[in-house]
Amino acid sequence: MAYLELEGVAKQFGAQTVVDDFSLSVGKGEFISFLGPSGCGKTTTLQMIAGFLDPTRGAIRLEGKDLTAIHPAKRGLGIVFQSYALFPHMTAAENVAFGLEMRNVPRAERAERVRDALAMVGLAGYEDRHPRRMSGGQQQRVALARALVIKPSVLLLDEPLSNLDAKLREGMQIELRQIQRTIGTTTILVTHDQNEAMSLSDRIVVMSQGKIEQIGTPQETYEKPASAFVSQFLGKTNDFAATIDRAATPARVIAGSWSAPAPVGLSGPVTVSIRPERIGFGDAGLNATIVTRIFQGNHWLFQCDSECGPAIVIRQNDGERQPAEGEAVHLAWRPEDMSVRGGV
Protein backbone atom coordinates (compact mmCIF):
# COMPACT_ATOMS: atom_id res chain seq x y z
CA MET A 1 0.00 0.00 0.00
CA ALA A 2 1.18 3.48 -0.83
CA TYR A 3 2.50 5.47 2.10
CA LEU A 4 2.19 8.92 0.58
CA GLU A 5 -0.21 9.32 -2.29
CA LEU A 6 -0.91 12.23 -4.61
CA GLU A 7 -3.92 11.81 -6.84
CA GLY A 8 -4.76 14.18 -9.68
CA VAL A 9 -3.24 17.11 -7.83
CA ALA A 10 -3.42 20.44 -9.62
CA LYS A 11 -2.63 24.01 -8.70
CA GLN A 12 -3.79 27.13 -10.47
CA PHE A 13 -2.82 30.72 -9.78
CA GLY A 14 -5.56 32.69 -11.45
CA ALA A 15 -5.74 31.48 -15.01
CA GLN A 16 -2.27 29.95 -14.92
CA THR A 17 -1.96 26.22 -14.26
CA VAL A 18 1.29 25.58 -12.45
CA VAL A 19 0.80 21.91 -11.65
CA ASP A 20 -1.59 19.70 -13.55
CA ASP A 21 -2.88 16.18 -12.90
CA PHE A 22 -0.01 15.11 -10.67
CA SER A 23 -0.42 11.50 -9.47
CA LEU A 24 2.23 9.60 -7.57
CA SER A 25 2.45 6.80 -5.03
CA VAL A 26 5.40 6.85 -2.68
CA GLY A 27 6.30 3.74 -0.71
CA LYS A 28 7.45 3.92 2.90
CA GLY A 29 11.16 4.64 3.12
CA GLU A 30 11.46 5.57 -0.51
CA PHE A 31 13.66 8.42 -1.76
CA ILE A 32 11.87 10.29 -4.53
CA SER A 33 13.19 13.26 -6.54
CA PHE A 34 11.10 15.83 -8.35
CA LEU A 35 13.37 16.83 -11.22
CA GLY A 36 12.81 19.57 -13.73
CA PRO A 37 13.84 23.04 -14.86
CA SER A 38 12.80 26.07 -12.82
CA GLY A 39 9.12 26.85 -13.21
CA CYS A 40 8.15 23.26 -13.90
CA GLY A 41 5.97 23.10 -10.78
CA LYS A 42 8.17 20.89 -8.62
CA THR A 43 8.47 23.35 -5.74
CA THR A 44 4.76 24.13 -5.93
CA THR A 45 4.01 20.42 -5.56
CA LEU A 46 6.33 20.21 -2.57
CA GLN A 47 4.64 23.22 -1.00
CA MET A 48 1.27 21.56 -1.43
CA ILE A 49 2.51 18.46 0.38
CA ALA A 50 3.95 20.70 3.11
CA GLY A 51 0.66 22.59 3.33
CA PHE A 52 1.96 26.06 2.47
CA LEU A 53 -0.25 25.98 -0.61
CA ASP A 54 -3.64 24.34 -1.05
CA PRO A 55 -4.16 22.25 -4.17
CA THR A 56 -6.84 23.52 -6.53
CA ARG A 57 -7.87 19.94 -7.32
CA GLY A 58 -6.89 16.44 -6.29
CA ALA A 59 -6.06 14.63 -3.07
CA ILE A 60 -2.92 14.17 -1.00
CA ARG A 61 -3.03 11.24 1.42
CA LEU A 62 -0.57 10.04 4.01
CA GLU A 63 -1.21 6.48 5.19
CA GLY A 64 -4.71 6.79 3.75
CA LYS A 65 -5.55 9.97 5.70
CA ASP A 66 -6.37 13.19 3.84
CA LEU A 67 -3.36 15.44 4.40
CA THR A 68 -4.89 18.62 2.98
CA ALA A 69 -7.36 18.76 5.87
CA ILE A 70 -4.51 19.03 8.38
CA HIS A 71 -2.97 22.40 9.25
CA PRO A 72 0.68 22.61 8.13
CA ALA A 73 1.79 22.97 11.76
CA LYS A 74 0.20 19.60 12.56
CA ARG A 75 1.38 17.58 9.58
CA GLY A 76 4.61 16.54 11.22
CA LEU A 77 6.68 16.73 8.06
CA GLY A 78 10.33 17.71 8.16
CA ILE A 79 11.33 20.39 5.68
CA VAL A 80 14.72 21.65 4.60
CA PHE A 81 14.38 24.93 2.72
CA GLN A 82 16.56 26.15 -0.10
CA SER A 83 17.59 29.15 2.02
CA TYR A 84 17.70 26.84 5.09
CA ALA A 85 15.41 29.35 6.89
CA LEU A 86 17.32 28.87 10.12
CA PHE A 87 16.29 31.10 13.01
CA PRO A 88 19.20 33.55 13.11
CA HIS A 89 18.59 34.63 16.70
CA MET A 90 18.86 31.06 18.03
CA THR A 91 21.93 28.86 18.38
CA ALA A 92 22.27 25.64 16.40
CA ALA A 93 21.00 23.63 19.38
CA GLU A 94 18.07 26.01 19.93
CA ASN A 95 17.17 25.73 16.26
CA VAL A 96 17.13 21.96 16.43
CA ALA A 97 15.27 21.96 19.75
CA PHE A 98 12.49 24.24 18.48
CA GLY A 99 10.35 21.51 16.93
CA LEU A 100 10.71 19.34 20.03
CA GLU A 101 9.68 22.27 22.20
CA MET A 102 6.55 22.70 20.10
CA ARG A 103 5.80 19.03 20.80
CA ASN A 104 6.33 19.51 24.54
CA VAL A 105 9.14 17.00 24.68
CA PRO A 106 10.56 17.05 28.24
CA ARG A 107 13.75 19.07 28.66
CA ALA A 108 16.09 16.17 29.39
CA GLU A 109 14.93 14.11 26.43
CA ARG A 110 15.04 17.20 24.26
CA ALA A 111 18.69 17.88 25.10
CA GLU A 112 19.60 14.31 24.32
CA ARG A 113 17.79 14.20 21.00
CA VAL A 114 19.28 17.54 19.96
CA ARG A 115 22.75 16.24 20.77
CA ASP A 116 22.15 13.05 18.82
CA ALA A 117 20.72 14.90 15.83
CA LEU A 118 23.65 17.32 15.65
CA ALA A 119 26.08 14.41 16.02
CA MET A 120 24.33 12.56 13.22
CA VAL A 121 24.94 15.44 10.80
CA GLY A 122 28.52 15.77 12.02
CA LEU A 123 28.07 18.95 14.04
CA ALA A 124 28.87 17.70 17.53
CA GLY A 125 30.42 20.62 19.41
CA TYR A 126 28.67 23.30 17.40
CA GLU A 127 25.65 23.49 19.73
CA ASP A 128 26.17 27.10 20.79
CA ARG A 129 27.04 28.62 17.42
CA HIS A 130 24.66 31.08 15.81
CA PRO A 131 23.78 30.31 12.18
CA ARG A 132 25.42 33.49 10.83
CA ARG A 133 28.68 32.29 12.32
CA MET A 134 28.53 29.01 10.39
CA SER A 135 29.50 28.12 6.84
CA GLY A 136 26.89 27.28 4.24
CA GLY A 137 27.53 23.57 4.61
CA GLN A 138 27.21 23.75 8.37
CA GLN A 139 23.98 25.73 8.14
CA GLN A 140 22.69 23.11 5.77
CA ARG A 141 23.44 20.39 8.30
CA VAL A 142 21.69 22.30 11.08
CA ALA A 143 18.63 22.63 8.83
CA LEU A 144 18.72 18.89 8.18
CA ALA A 145 19.09 18.07 11.87
CA ARG A 146 16.23 20.42 12.70
CA ALA A 147 13.97 18.68 10.20
CA LEU A 148 14.98 15.15 11.21
CA VAL A 149 14.93 15.52 14.99
CA ILE A 150 11.12 15.61 15.07
CA LYS A 151 11.08 12.14 13.44
CA PRO A 152 9.04 13.37 10.48
CA SER A 153 6.73 11.03 8.61
CA VAL A 154 8.10 12.49 5.39
CA LEU A 155 11.24 14.56 4.82
CA LEU A 156 10.85 17.28 2.21
CA LEU A 157 14.02 18.77 0.72
CA ASP A 158 13.64 21.90 -1.39
CA GLU A 159 16.83 22.28 -3.45
CA PRO A 160 18.82 21.83 -0.25
CA LEU A 161 22.22 21.64 -1.91
CA SER A 162 21.89 24.37 -4.51
CA ASN A 163 23.59 27.01 -2.36
CA LEU A 164 26.70 24.94 -1.80
CA ASP A 165 29.76 24.92 -4.03
CA ALA A 166 30.26 21.93 -6.32
CA LYS A 167 32.77 20.05 -4.18
CA LEU A 168 30.79 20.42 -0.96
CA ARG A 169 27.63 19.48 -2.79
CA GLU A 170 29.07 16.13 -3.84
CA GLY A 171 30.13 15.33 -0.28
CA MET A 172 26.73 16.32 1.09
CA GLN A 173 24.98 14.11 -1.50
CA ILE A 174 26.79 11.05 -0.25
CA GLU A 175 26.15 11.99 3.35
CA LEU A 176 22.49 12.73 2.77
CA ARG A 177 22.08 9.37 1.09
CA GLN A 178 23.74 7.58 4.01
CA ILE A 179 21.63 9.37 6.62
CA GLN A 180 18.44 8.65 4.74
CA ARG A 181 19.39 4.96 4.39
CA THR A 182 20.18 4.71 8.09
CA ILE A 183 17.01 6.23 9.47
CA GLY A 184 14.77 5.15 6.61
CA THR A 185 12.65 8.28 6.45
CA THR A 186 10.51 8.63 3.35
CA THR A 187 12.07 11.52 1.46
CA ILE A 188 11.10 13.84 -1.35
CA LEU A 189 13.80 15.96 -2.93
CA VAL A 190 13.14 18.85 -5.26
CA THR A 191 16.03 19.58 -7.58
CA HIS A 192 16.95 20.87 -11.02
CA ASP A 193 20.25 18.97 -11.02
CA GLN A 194 19.93 15.63 -12.81
CA ASN A 195 23.13 14.28 -11.30
CA GLU A 196 21.82 14.97 -7.82
CA ALA A 197 18.50 13.32 -8.60
CA MET A 198 20.19 10.28 -10.13
CA SER A 199 22.74 9.73 -7.41
CA LEU A 200 20.28 10.11 -4.52
CA SER A 201 16.90 8.74 -5.47
CA ASP A 202 15.16 5.41 -5.71
CA ARG A 203 12.81 6.92 -8.26
CA ILE A 204 12.76 10.18 -10.20
CA VAL A 205 9.70 12.17 -11.19
CA VAL A 206 10.71 14.23 -14.22
CA MET A 207 8.50 17.29 -14.61
CA SER A 208 8.07 19.90 -17.31
CA GLN A 209 5.59 22.75 -17.50
CA GLY A 210 3.49 21.48 -14.62
CA LYS A 211 3.16 17.96 -15.93
CA ILE A 212 4.84 14.66 -15.13
CA GLU A 213 6.97 13.54 -18.06
CA GLN A 214 8.13 10.26 -16.58
CA ILE A 215 8.34 8.39 -13.30
CA GLY A 216 11.01 5.76 -13.00
CA THR A 217 14.27 4.63 -11.47
CA PRO A 218 17.30 6.75 -12.34
CA GLN A 219 18.43 4.08 -14.79
CA GLU A 220 15.06 3.84 -16.50
CA THR A 221 14.69 7.57 -16.95
CA TYR A 222 18.22 7.82 -18.26
CA GLU A 223 18.23 4.86 -20.55
CA LYS A 224 14.61 4.65 -21.59
CA PRO A 225 13.46 8.28 -21.58
CA ALA A 226 9.72 8.50 -22.25
CA SER A 227 9.98 11.76 -24.14
CA ALA A 228 12.44 13.99 -25.96
CA PHE A 229 12.31 16.33 -22.95
CA VAL A 230 13.37 13.60 -20.53
CA SER A 231 16.15 12.35 -22.74
CA GLN A 232 17.58 15.84 -23.20
CA PHE A 233 17.13 16.96 -19.61
CA LEU A 234 18.94 13.92 -18.22
CA GLY A 235 22.24 14.51 -19.97
CA LYS A 236 23.60 14.66 -23.50
CA THR A 237 21.80 12.62 -26.10
CA ASN A 238 21.56 12.01 -29.83
CA ASP A 239 18.17 12.05 -31.53
CA PHE A 240 18.24 10.62 -35.05
CA ALA A 241 15.32 10.68 -37.44
CA ALA A 242 14.65 7.11 -38.58
CA THR A 243 11.98 5.01 -40.27
CA ILE A 244 10.59 1.61 -39.48
CA ASP A 245 10.13 -0.59 -42.48
CA ARG A 246 7.39 -3.10 -41.73
CA ALA A 247 7.58 -4.49 -45.29
CA ALA A 248 10.91 -6.14 -44.60
CA THR A 249 10.94 -9.43 -42.71
CA PRO A 250 11.82 -9.11 -39.98
CA ALA A 251 10.84 -5.44 -39.76
CA ARG A 252 13.78 -3.08 -39.48
CA VAL A 253 14.48 0.37 -38.11
CA ILE A 254 16.63 2.35 -40.51
CA ALA A 255 18.64 5.52 -39.99
CA GLY A 256 20.78 6.38 -42.97
CA SER A 257 23.08 3.46 -43.62
CA TRP A 258 22.52 2.07 -40.13
CA SER A 259 19.74 -0.43 -39.44
CA ALA A 260 18.60 -2.89 -36.82
CA PRO A 261 15.64 -5.18 -36.09
CA ALA A 262 12.64 -2.96 -35.27
CA PRO A 263 10.90 -3.05 -31.91
CA VAL A 264 7.27 -4.16 -31.97
CA GLY A 265 4.44 -1.67 -32.24
CA LEU A 266 5.76 1.35 -34.08
CA SER A 267 5.91 1.97 -37.79
CA GLY A 268 6.69 4.82 -40.17
CA PRO A 269 8.83 7.78 -39.10
CA VAL A 270 10.34 7.49 -35.61
CA THR A 271 13.04 9.07 -33.47
CA VAL A 272 15.94 6.98 -32.32
CA SER A 273 17.50 8.28 -29.12
CA ILE A 274 20.94 7.09 -28.07
CA ARG A 275 23.30 8.30 -25.35
CA PRO A 276 26.73 9.44 -26.68
CA GLU A 277 28.68 6.98 -24.50
CA ARG A 278 26.78 4.03 -26.04
CA ILE A 279 27.92 4.79 -29.58
CA GLY A 280 31.03 3.09 -30.85
CA PHE A 281 33.12 3.45 -34.00
CA GLY A 282 32.54 0.29 -36.03
CA ASP A 283 33.18 -1.14 -39.49
CA ALA A 284 29.60 -0.44 -40.56
CA GLY A 285 26.82 1.87 -39.45
CA LEU A 286 25.85 5.52 -39.75
CA ASN A 287 28.34 7.31 -41.98
CA ALA A 288 29.93 10.27 -40.25
CA THR A 289 32.99 12.55 -40.20
CA ILE A 290 34.74 13.70 -37.04
CA VAL A 291 34.45 17.51 -36.83
CA THR A 292 36.18 18.14 -33.51
CA ARG A 293 37.89 15.92 -31.00
CA ILE A 294 38.16 17.14 -27.41
CA PHE A 295 40.25 15.50 -24.74
CA GLN A 296 38.58 15.55 -21.32
CA GLY A 297 40.84 13.45 -19.17
CA ASN A 298 39.03 10.19 -18.54
CA HIS A 299 37.20 10.36 -21.87
CA TRP A 300 37.20 11.78 -25.38
CA LEU A 301 34.35 13.84 -26.76
CA PHE A 302 33.74 13.72 -30.50
CA GLN A 303 31.49 16.04 -32.43
CA CYS A 304 30.56 14.38 -35.68
CA ASP A 305 28.73 15.31 -38.81
CA SER A 306 26.57 12.29 -39.70
CA GLU A 307 24.05 11.35 -42.37
CA CYS A 308 21.30 12.10 -39.84
CA GLY A 309 22.72 15.44 -38.66
CA PRO A 310 25.17 16.35 -35.89
CA ALA A 311 26.08 13.62 -33.41
CA ILE A 312 28.09 13.45 -30.20
CA VAL A 313 30.15 10.45 -29.21
CA ILE A 314 31.92 9.88 -25.92
CA ARG A 315 34.66 7.26 -25.70
CA GLN A 316 36.49 6.08 -22.61
CA ASN A 317 40.15 7.04 -22.59
CA ASP A 318 41.17 3.39 -22.47
CA GLY A 319 44.48 3.81 -24.32
CA GLU A 320 43.12 2.62 -27.65
CA ARG A 321 43.77 4.73 -30.75
CA GLN A 322 40.97 7.23 -31.32
CA PRO A 323 39.95 8.61 -34.74
CA ALA A 324 41.38 12.01 -35.65
CA GLU A 325 39.56 15.14 -36.76
CA GLY A 326 38.38 14.89 -40.35
CA GLU A 327 38.45 11.09 -40.34
CA ALA A 328 35.47 9.23 -41.81
CA VAL A 329 33.87 6.82 -39.34
CA HIS A 330 30.86 4.56 -38.94
CA LEU A 331 28.67 5.06 -35.87
CA ALA A 332 27.17 1.88 -34.43
CA TRP A 333 25.33 0.87 -31.28
CA ARG A 334 23.48 -2.07 -29.84
CA PRO A 335 19.72 -2.03 -30.44
CA GLU A 336 19.03 -2.50 -26.68
CA ASP A 337 20.90 0.73 -25.89
CA MET A 338 18.58 2.96 -27.89
CA SER A 339 15.05 4.06 -27.27
CA VAL A 340 12.66 4.50 -30.15
CA ARG A 341 9.78 6.96 -30.03
CA GLY A 342 7.04 7.55 -32.56
CA GLY A 343 7.20 10.74 -34.61
CA VAL A 344 10.22 12.75 -35.54
When binding is defined by CB under 8 A, the residue of 27, 54, 89, 269 that contacts other proteins is 89
Three-state DSSP class for residue 167: helix
Strand partners, 60: 6
When binding is defined by CB under 8 A, the residue of 70, 85, 168, 215 that contacts other proteins is 85
When binding is defined by CB under 8 A, the residue of 12, 17, 72, 170 that contacts other proteins is 72
Is the dihedral angle over the CA atoms 232, 235, 240, 246 positive or is it negative?
negative
Shortest CB 97 distance to other proteins, Å: 10
One symbol per residue from 212 to 251: x for binding other proteins (CB under 8 A), - otherwise; what is it?
----------------------------------------
Q: How many CB atoms lie within 10 A of CB 252?
A: 16
Give the whole-angstrom CA distance, residue 153 versus residue 70.
14
Residue 74 as a binder of other proteins (CB under 8 A): the answer is: yes
Residue 83 as a binder of other proteins (CB under 8 A): the answer is: yes
Q: Which is nearer to other proteins, 141 or 275 (CB)?
A: 141
When binding is defined by CB under 8 A, the residue of 88, 106, 250, 265 that contacts other proteins is 88
Give the whole-angstrom CA distance, residue 23 versus residue 39.
18
DSSP characters over 58-117: EEEEETTEESTTS-GGGS--EEE-TT----TTS-HHHHHHHHHHHTT--HHHHHHHHHHH
Three-state DSSP class for residue 333: coil
When binding is defined by CB under 8 A, the residue of 8, 37, 39, 52 that contacts other proteins is 52
- Stretch near other proteins under the rule CB under 8 A, chosen from 8-16, 77-85, 118-126, 252-260: 77-85
Q: Which is nearer to other proteins, 63 or 101 (CB)?
A: 101
Mode of pairing for the β-strands spanning 328-332 and 286-295: antiparallel
DSSP characters over 190-239: EES-HHHHHHH-SEEEEEETTEEEEEE-HHHHHHS-SSHHHHHHTS--EE
Q: Which is nearer to other proteins, 138 or 257 (CB)?
A: 138
Shortest CB 156 distance to other proteins, Å: 8
Please report, as ranges, the residues that interact with other proteins according to CB under 8 A. Answer: 50, 52, 72-79, 81-89, 98-99, 102-103, 130, 132-133, 146-147, 150
